[in-house]
Chain A
C-alpha cells in the first residue's frame, strides 16, 4: 500500500517536470536580447547571412512551438542541447558544475548538523537557562543574516586580515584529486590523497559557514521545539518514574521521537541549499551551478538555463519525495500524501 503511494507521488513529479521545462522555455524567450547577437559580441563586418546561419544552427529561426517540441523530444532522448555561450554540451557543463554545488551543499548541511544537534538537545534539556537564551538569540541572528554578507565578513576576517584560509576557489592547483565522483573531499579520501583532502577542506570552510549558518539555526530551533513537545508527553514522565537514567531518557525516548520534524527540515534545507546560493558562489568564486545559470541568463543561453533549471526542479522534487518517504517511515501512523 505504501509502495503504491510512493509510486504515485513519484509519477506526480512527471507533469511538474514537464511544467518546469515549458515555463522556463517560454520565460527565457520573453527576456529581451538575442543569443546570437550576444555570441557575436563586438565582431565587426558580420554579414546578415552569417547571422542567419548561426540562427539556423541553433534552431532559433523556427516558430516557438516547433522549437519547444524539438527541445522536448531531445530532452526525452537525454540530449540537453548545446550551450551557445560556452561552446559545449549542456549536459557536460551541468555534470561539471553539479558536483561542486552538491559538495558545498553537503558540507554546509554537515556543518549545520554538527552545530544544531548538540545545541538543539542542550537547549531543550536546559530549557529557559542562559545557554538556551543565548543560543536562541544566536539562532535568530543566523536566520536573519544574509549569507552573502556573512561571506564577505568571513573573507575580510579570515582570508584577507588573518590569511588563515583561501579567499576563493575549490582547490589550489596541484591539489585537485583524481576524478572519481567529482566531489573533491570524497575523491581525495577514495584515492588516499591526504594533501588534496586538506586543501579541499580548507577551501570549503568559509563558504560552508556562510551557507550553513541559516540551516544550523533553523534545525536547532526545530530540534529544540519538538524535543520540548515530546518531553511533555506521558511516556517520558513514565520512563523517568521508572528510574531510567536521565541521559537515556533524553537520547532514547525524547530525541528519537523528536527526530521526525528535524529530518524533514534538514531535507528541505538541503533542497534550498542546492537551489539558492548563486550570490555566495559568486563571492567565493565557487564553480557551481549558481554561477553557471546566472551567467546563462545574462548571455541568453537558452539551452544552458533550461537544462540547469530542470536539474534544480528535479532536485527539488526528489528532495521533497525523499523527505516525505522518510517522514512516513519514521512516523508509520501517517500516510503519504496527507502531509500539508
Chain B
C-alpha cells in the first residue's frame, strides 16, 4: 500500500483491476473458443495476411504503386508483372497491395468512429430517455429512411474528394445502426436489478453507464461492428467505382475495378484481381464476425 492513498481509493483501484482482469479473462476465453471455429480462424488468417502485406506493401510490392511506364500498358499477367499491368502501365499487384491499406483503413476507421459515436449516443439516449432520446430516435428513423449509398454520394459531393472526407461520408449514416443497438441494449439492461442496486448504492450515472451497462451491451456492438467492416469496404469500392472516392494516386480496389470495367473487353485481369481480393477480404472479415457472433451473442440476428 502506498502512503497517502486512502483506503477508499485503494479499494477502487483494486476493484478496477479486478473488473479489467475479468474482462480480459472474458476476452481471452472468447479467443480460445473462437480458435475452435475453423472457419473463423481461416478468416482471421486471411485478414492477417492481407493486413500484413498492406502494412509492408512498400517493402514487398515489386514496384511503387504510382510508377507508370506507359510503354508497358496492358502487359498480361506473368513475366515482368505477376498480375499484369493496367491501362497506364502500373503494376496491378503493387496497386492491389497498396490498395489494401485504403480498404482496411476505411473498414477499421469508419466502423470505429461509428461504433463509438453510435454507442455513446445510444447509451445516453437509452439511459436518460426524455427529449434527448426522442430527438435522437426520430433523427435515426429519418436517416434510416435514406438509402445509404445515395446519402454517401451526396455527402461526397458536399465534402469533395479525399480519404477523410470519404470516412466522414460513410460515418454520416454508419452510426445509426449502432445507436439503435446500444439504445435497445440499455433499455433492456436498465430494467434489471443490478442497475437498480447500483443506483441505490449512490453510484453516479457515469459509473453505472460505463462500468455496469456498457460491458453487458458491448458484445452485439462488437459483432455487428466486425460484420459492418466488410460492408464499409464494399461501400468504399462502390463510391470509388462511381468515381467519387479517393484521389487516383492512392490506388483503391474500387477504382481499380472501375478502371478494369472500362477495358473489360481487352484486359480481363484489370478488374478480376482486385475484385477477387476484395471478395476474399470481405468474406474473411465476415467469417470472423460470424465466429464472434456464435461465441458472444448466439441469439443476435446479424444478416
Contact = CB atoms under 8 A, between A and B. Distances in A.
Interface residues of B, number: 41
A146 B157 contact: no
Given A31-B154, A309-B146, A279 B242 contact: yes
B264 interface: yes
A170 interface: no
B35 interface: no
B279 A145 contact: yes
Interface string B138-156: 1101111111111001100
Given A28-B154, A140-B287, A294-B153, A152 B145 contact: no
Contact of A146 (B153, B237, B261): B237
Nearest to B303: A218
A316 B144 contact: yes
Interface string A15-42: 1110110011001101111000000000
A44 to B, nearest CB: 27
A31 B156 CA distance: 9
B283 interface: yes
A149 interface: yes
Contacts of A148: 237-238, 241, 257
Contact of A149 (B142, B275, B287, B301): B275
B184 A144 contact: no
B123 interface: no
B94 interface: no
Nearest to B281: A144
A117 interface: no
Contacts of B257: 148-149, 152
Contact of A160 (B148, B237, B265, B301): B265
Interface string B274-289: 0100110011001100
A294 B242 contact: yes
A217 B279 CA distance: 15
B301 to A, nearest CB: 7
Contacts of A31: 154, 157-158
A19 B142 contact: yes
Contacts of B237: 146, 148-149
B119 to A, nearest CB: 16
Interface string A139-158: 01101111011001101100
A305 B147 CA distance: 12
Give chain A's interface residue range (CB within 8 Å of chain B).
35 or more
Contact of A309 (B144, B150, B265, B278): B150
A146 B145 CA distance: 22
A58 interface: no
B278 A275 contact: no
Interface in A234-261: 261
A28 B151 CA distance: 10
B219 to A, nearest CB: 15
Given A143-B286, A152-B257, A294-B242, A317 B145 contact: yes
B65 interface: no
A312 B234 contact: no
A32 B160 CA distance: 9
Interface string A261-289: 10000000000000110110011000000
B268 interface: yes
A23 B261 CA distance: 35
Contacts of A17: 145
Interface residues of A: mostly helix, strand, loop or mixed?
helix
A149 B278 contact: yes
A293 B150 contact: yes
Contacts of A275: 147-148, 150
A298 interface: yes
Contacts of B226: none
B11 to A, nearest CB: 37
B75 interface: no
Nearest to B268: A156
Given A141-B279, A297-B153, A312 B241 contact: no
A312 B157 contact: no
B147 A276 contact: yes
A203 interface: no
A124 interface: no
B147 to A, nearest CB: 4
A293 B184 CA distance: 33
Contacts of A278: 149-150, 153, 242
B118 interface: no
Instruction: Pick from A17, A20, A143 the residue with the most CB of B within 10 Å.
Output: A143
A145 B282 CA distance: 8
B271 interface: yes
Contacts of B150: 275, 278, 293-294, 297, 309, 312
A222 interface: yes
Interface in B207-245: 230, 234, 237-238, 241-242
Nearest to A136: B39
Given A152-B264, A156-B264, A20 B146 contact: yes
A148 B303 CA distance: 19
10 contacts: A143-B303, A146-B237, A146-B238, A160-B264, A222-B301, A293-B150, A297-B157, A298-B157, A317-B145, A340-B184
Given A149-B275, A152-B264, A279-B241, 10 more contacts: A19-B138, A31-B157, A140-B286, A144-B283, A152-B257, A152-B261, A153-B272, A278-B149, A297-B154, A309-B147
Interface of A: 15-17, 19-20, 23-24, 27-28, 30-33, 140-141, 143-146, 148-149, 152-153, 155-156, 160, 217-218, 221-222, 261, 275-276, 278-279, 282-283, 293-294, 297-298, 305, 309, 312-313, 316-317, 340
Q: Top 9 A-B pairs ranked by shortest CB distance? A: A19-B142, A275-B147, A313-B145, A144-B283, A144-B282, A149-B275, A340-B184, A316-B145, A218-B303
